[in-house]
Amino acid sequence: MEPIPFLDLGAVFERSKKDISLAMSRVLESGWYILGREVETFENAFARFCEAEHAVGVANGLDALELGLRAMGVKAGDEVIVPSNTYIATWLAVSHVGAIPVPVEPDATFNIDPDRIEAAITAKTRVVLPVHLYGQSANMTRIVAVARRHGLRVLEDGAQAHGARHDNRRIGAYGDAVAWSFYPGKNLGAMGDGGAVTTNNPGIADRLRVLRNYGSRIKYHNETIGFNSRLDEVQAAILSARLLRLDKENSHRGKIAQIYNEGLAGTQLVLPVVARHAEPVWHLYVVRTKDRDGLAAKLLEHKIGSMIHYPIPPHLQPAYASLGLAEGSLPISETLHREVLSLPMGPTMTKSQAIRVIAAVREWDAGRTVA
């Protein structure tokens, strides 16, 4: 019985091997390796894909978030509303600019609950930072409406949602900007780190281009205190090659998710909830059970990989002990982090593999019923 990996990255990149090889050769032969034609080409293609006017490549997803906040003028002492249920990078970006993350609990989709945002707004709030978690868009229509009512900016974290749609429109510029990660395991992944910010705001785009390059738009003339955060030519070329397959790969992920939805119906698992406004790209397929360890053990027994996204919520990490958010302060998020388990998902996963995962889950489920 062949193992089923959680995500077979080798197989994912093998599919684009020819295109990636040609792209890397093109960069090698160009003699230009930083902020050249490949970055510009990818930025233009990615902006079009995201239905945005601008895309600015940066070094990684965390930088995309941090520079996005800086481009919006967020400074020390400001507050930024963040999801309580997210990867810690969302919070870290806020801390890196000296601002304070203010967590808001999720709704049934695991994304930030629009109904809870208004109560978290104070005179210090500057930005609302929703995350399109697991590949499903947050409710941007309602989030943007709340933000505009209070004169706030909206920076979206799209690290897990390349190609996702909200109300039939791509995630790319619903708010003021969207921060993206191209970490290898993402739906659109590079062969190393990479990131970008998309926006329809030319002022934000211009500010980002200056900030990413030492605060300079003219060599050796530095108009502000900037950073070295540039998407390099090699990764940009690889991303351009991989972008050509993204819609097809996302569609395949959706088919695997549908197989899971049908095959796992009626079990004791809490299955993913998809909002009416959303068209997910299924970066992850996340289920819930109080017997997470038992389910993970059963899957391992059948040589099936799984992962926890994420075992500890940001507010309970030692890094954020200073906020004073003790256990029990964000109960919805804490429950999710105790119960969630991600099943295998990826663009190279086969129907027969998904059926094997379902069979193993049902074996676990039957054992729990008997017990």
CA distances from 30 to 26, 33, 161, 234, 347 (A): 6, 8, 32, 11, 32
The rounded distance, in Å, linking the Cα atoms of 7 and 284 is 10
CA distances from 205 to 48, 122, 227, 269 (A): 15, 27, 15, 43
pLDDT at 369: 58
pLDDT at 171: 97
* Total number of domains in the chain: 2
Residue 36 domain-assigned (yes or no): yes
For residues 194 and 262, membership in a common domain is answered with no
Nearest CA-CA partner of 132 in 192, 79, 184, 87? 87
Residue 229 domain-assigned (yes or no): yes
Read off φ and ψ for residue 155, nearest 5 degrees.
-115, 120
For residues 59 and 185, membership in a common domain is answered with yes
Asked which of 194, 212, 243 is the last residue of a domain, the reply is 243
Terminal Cα-to-Cα distance of the chain (whole angstroms): 28
For residues 117 and 172, membership in a common domain is answered with yes
The rounded distance, in Å, linking the Cα atoms of 268 and 290 is 10
- CATH code: domain of residue 187: 3.40.640.10
Whether the upstream peptide bond of residue 310 has omega within 30° of 0, thus cis, is yes
> Kind of pairing, strands 221-222 and 100-104?
unpaired
DSSP H/E element including 293: helix 292-301
For residues 298 and 229, membership in a common domain is answered with no
Task: Report residue 192 as tokens.
Answer: 């190393």
For residues 253 and 292, membership in a common domain is answered with yes
For residues 298 and 281, membership in a common domain is answered with yes
pLDDT at 296: 98
CA 191 to chain centre: 17
Structural domain boundaries enclosing 127: 17-104+112-243
Strand partners, 103: 82
Looking at the chain, the number of H-run helices and the number of E-run strands are 13, 14
Residue 12 domain-assigned (yes or no): no
Residue 183 domain-assigned (yes or no): yes
For residues 356 and 339, membership in a common domain is answered with yes
Residue 6 domain-assigned (yes or no): no
For residues 214 and 118, membership in a common domain is answered with yes
Residue 8 domain-assigned (yes or no): no
CA distances from 310 to 7, 9, 207, 314 (A): 16, 20, 33, 9
- CATH code: domain of residue 295: 3.90.1150.10
What is the secondary structure of 124-175 as a DSSP string? TEEEE--B-GGG----HHHHHHHHHHTT-EEEEE-TT-TT-EETTEESSSSS
For residues 234 and 265, membership in a common domain is answered with no
For residues 147 and 229, membership in a common domain is answered with yes
User: Which residues in the chain land under pLDDT 50?
Assistant: 370-371
Residue 87 domain-assigned (yes or no): yes
For residues 93 and 144, membership in a common domain is answered with yes
Residue 1 domain-assigned (yes or no): no
Asked which of 243, 272, 287 is the last residue of a domain, the reply is 243
Strand partners, 278: 166
Residues 6+ positions from 128 with CB-CB distance below 8 Å? 80, 81, 117, 143, 146, 147, 152, 153, 154, 155, 175
Strand partners, 244: none
Residues 164-223 have pLDDT tens digits of 999 999 999 999 999 999 999 999 999 999 999 999 999 999 999 999 999 999 999 999
Asked which of 243, 271, 286 is the last residue of a domain, the reply is 243
Q: Across the beta sheet with 169-170, what order do the strands follow?
A: 169-170, 165-166, 278-279
The rounded distance, in Å, linking the Cα atoms of 109 and 112 is 8
pLDDT at 57: 98
pLDDT at 371: 44
The rounded distance, in Å, linking the Cα atoms of 33 and 139 is 39
Residues 310-355 have pLDDT tens digits of 999 999 999 999 999 999 999 999 999 999 999 999 999 999 999 9
For residues 86 and 203, membership in a common domain is answered with yes
